[in-house]
Amino acid sequence: MYAMTACHPTLPFGSLVRVVNRRNHRSVVVRITDRGDLVHEGRVIDLSYGAADKLGMTWAGIARVDLEVLSLGGTHSQQ
């Protein structure tokens, strides 16, 4: 819950991604650990509570963010 992790539909597990909150310019680096359930249109990543808290977005639950892939992980499935 407080780890710097996230879900993404296509990035390989273990990938590191910088997420920047467009509103306040706070950023955090997260590791992709799951696929998640991003069925809502326009949503691109699902952050852990800890990552969302550091970005200052826990009050709203959603925010406009920019993503920067820092490194690609090694697998597309959990093992």
Q: What pLDDT digit, counting tens, does each position of 29-60 carry?
A: 999 999 987 767 788 999 999 999 999 998 88
Mean pLDDT score across all residues of the chain: 90
Domains and CATH numbers, the chain: 5-71 (2.40.40.10)
Q: How far is CA 61 from CA 18, 46, 51, 56, in A?
A: 18, 10, 11, 10
pLDDT for the residue 79: 52
Q: How confident is the model at residue 76 (pLDDT cuts 50, 70, 90)?
A: low
Residues 19, 53 contacting (CB under 8 angstroms): no
pLDDT, position 77: 61
Pick from 30, 33, 29: nearest CA to 13: 33
pTM: 0.88
